[in-house]
Structure 1
Amino acid sequence: EHIEEAGVHSGDATMVLPCQTISPEVMERVIEITNQVALALQIKGCMNLQLAVKDDEVFMLEANPRASRTVPFISKAIGIPLAKLATKVMLGETLKDLGHVGVAKFDHVAVKASVFPFLKLVGVDSILGPEMKSTGEVMGIDKNYGAAMYKAMISAGNKLPLQGGVYVTVSDADKADILPLVKELHEMGFTIYATKGTSTHLRNNGVPVITVYKVAENVSPDALGLMRRGEINLIINTPTYSSGSRRDGYMMRRLAVELEIPFLTTVHGAKATVCAIRRARQGDLKVRDIASYH
């Protein structure tokens, strides 16, 4: 399951296995569609199927009769060498003969996080979209989703804070969804900073917040100044489409890259990150060799 919504390139998306937010009914439909497509296309070997879910309805984006970059990640996560099995099937053996029938069973969580080259590519905006920007990936694995997510995030170079300041500036469409996450960050002891529109919404809903001004307003405090002084340790910024906000957002994201401050540009990414921070603050994160999970 991709953490980000459809529209972010699959090579850039954060992925989790098994799915965390999809209902059992929808998963049954996903498996049903997968079987129907594979059989109808008479595929022997690997098939890459991309599906999107909206309001519990499943849409098929594309099907490719080949492996994908996700195969090594899934193979490591479930302990089954999928490429080797697919090759044997293509050469005439059956899954039944190979002892692999049905859906793989496992009791841990694996998260794939992408590694981005933004620090080296001066001027490139870090907003994710349909064009792939990542140059590598890492995997976090644990019995607990939050722990697996935290391991993946820090392995990808995101210095997730366990305390400090969080700067929040989101579009109007995201204000309702971001509220419970910001409340949770406040309860964990983080200082919340936000732009005028976002801070008004948060304050009206009982979250103590410090208002931060846009650069063009020439009023202190502004986000870039706070970032340079080390008072902001995490940024939640979902893009808005007015020219001023877009310019400020770009400047802030570039500075965040240069100062190595983790930034989140989707509500779903923020939700996963808050879950990871909550688990990390509990301590006792275990490091185990991957073979011990299988």
Structure 2
Amino acid sequence: MQFLVTDDNIMVIELNLRASRTCPFVSKTIGTDLVKVATKVMVGAELDLKELPTLETPHNPVDYVGIKAPMFSWPRLRDADPLLRCEMSSTGEVACFAPDVHTAFLKSLISAGFKLPPKGGNIMIGIQQSFQPAFLPTAKKLHDLGYKLCATEATAEYLNKHNIPADIVGWPASDNTCENVGIATKLIQEKAIDLVINLPNNNTKYVQDNYMIRRMSIDSQTPLVTNFQIAKLLTESLAKEDQMRPDSLFHYQKRATV
């Protein structure tokens, strides 16, 4: 079942009678075999309700986190804009476990083919004006972690105004008021950028430019983030990159509550 939630309104998008890939992931995470439970219910077998999780007594893992992350096929979709909307765009998924949400998140990104920016790498930022104040702590964190920031004109001006060094890059299609600056898409194409964070909306005259930056990121196999929450979590997680370790699934199953 897929839901769409807006404020206090809950709507059902679709309901499919099938086995979900989420079931084995959740079962492994909480230590309760949900498929086995569902089968017993369907055949009328006896259940020990005391052993099952409820809203009041959930089986939450105590010392680890499970994360399921989507995989996308944007490189195969020529000229498609790699922006996420309400329609499902992913064509696969991966599941990872770790002691905390940050290392689990990094593991899931790596497993999905996302290349983490190297220490001291170059990160290109383009943020619509309304997002800039909320993004400021994230930009500062990236700078504090040692990454070199560059940004489109207005974003770079905003970051520098708040004592976060950022070089200016030019828009690929529109006229640029700053001279002698690198063009965003050319820098990406030349592999001079290790990560692109592009947080646009349609309330800007640079809609086409932002699309060209996102598309060039995909075509040049440069990691791209287009969601504010993901950009924030990624930044927090990069500080713990050296804490990742390759534990087996059984390592975490032994810690399951059941």
8 Å CA contact retained: 2:31, 2:59? no
Aligned match of 1:258: 219
Aligned match of 2:235: 274
Does structure 1 residue 106 correspond to structure 2 residue 61? yes
Residue 285 of structure 1 corresponds to 244
Is 1:202 equivalent to 2:159 in the alignment? yes
1:161 — aligned with what? 117
Q: Return the alpha-carbon distance in structure 2 between the equivalents of residues 95 and 198 of structure 1.
A: 58
Deviations 1:163-193 (A, max 9, x none): 2111111112211111101100001111111
Residue ranges of structure 2 left out of the alignment (5+ in a row)? 254-258
1:124-273 to structure 2, matched below 5 A, reads: 124-163=80-119, 164-215=121-172, 216-217=174-175, 219=179, 220-241=181-202, 244-273=205-234
Deviating more after overlay: 157-166 vs 236-245: 236-245
1: CA distance between counterparts of 2:46 and 2:6? 31
Residues 252 and 65 (structure 1), Cα distance of their counterparts in 2 relative to 1, 3 Å cut:
closer
Question: Which TM-score applies when normalising by structure 2?
Answer: 0.85
Q: Matches of 1:119 and 1:72 in 2, distance apart?
A: 29
CA 1:179–1:89: 2 relative to 1, 3 Å: same
AA of the residue aligned to 1:88? K
The aligned residue for residue 22 of structure 2 is: 70
TM-score (norm. length: structure 1): 0.75
RMSD over equivalenced CA pairs, Å:
2.3
Q: What whole-Å deviation, never above 9, does each CA across 1:60-94 have from its counterpart, x for those lacking one?
A: 33395866443232123223221221121122235
8 Å contact 1:112–1:139 — kept in the other structure? yes
> For the Cα contact (< 8 Å) 1:158–1:260, is it kept in 2?
no
Contact preservation (8 Å) 2:128, 2:204: no
* Mapped contact 2:32–2:52 kept (Cα < 8 A): no
In 2 relative to 1, CA 82–208 (structure 1 residues): closer, same or farther, beyond 3 Å?
same
Counterpart residue identity of residue 61, structure 1: M
Unaligned runs of 5+ in 1: 1-47
Q: Distance in 2 between matches of 1:49 and 1:93?
A: 28
**Distance (Å, rounded) in 2 between the aligned partners of 1:152 and 1:176:** 28
| Residue matched to 2:256 | none
Aligned residue type for 1:184: K
Measured after TM superposition, the shift of residue 244 of structure 1 is 4.6
Change (3 A) 1:101 1:115: closer
Q: Distance in 2 between matches of 1:212 and 1:193?
A: 7
Q: Deviations over 1:241-294 (max 9, x none)?
A: 2575111111111111122111111110101111221110xx142111112212
Distance 2:91 2:2 in 1: 22
The 3-state SS of whatever aligns with 1:174 is helix
3-state DSSP of counterpart to 1:119: helix
Secondary structure at the counterpart of residue 151 of structure 1: helix
**Match for residue 9 of structure 1?**
none
Query: Matched residues, percent identical?
Result: 31
Structure-1 separation of matches of 2:219 and 2:240: 27
Residue 74 of structure 1 aligns with an amino acid whose one-letter code is V
- Give the direction of change, closer, same or farther, for the CA distance of 1:184–1:202 in structure 2 (3 Å limit): same
- Partner Cα distance (1:204, 1:242) in 2: 23
| AA matched with 1:79 | G
2:94–2:108 contact (8 Å) kept in structure 1: yes
Pick aligned residue for 2:74 from 112, 118, 127: 118
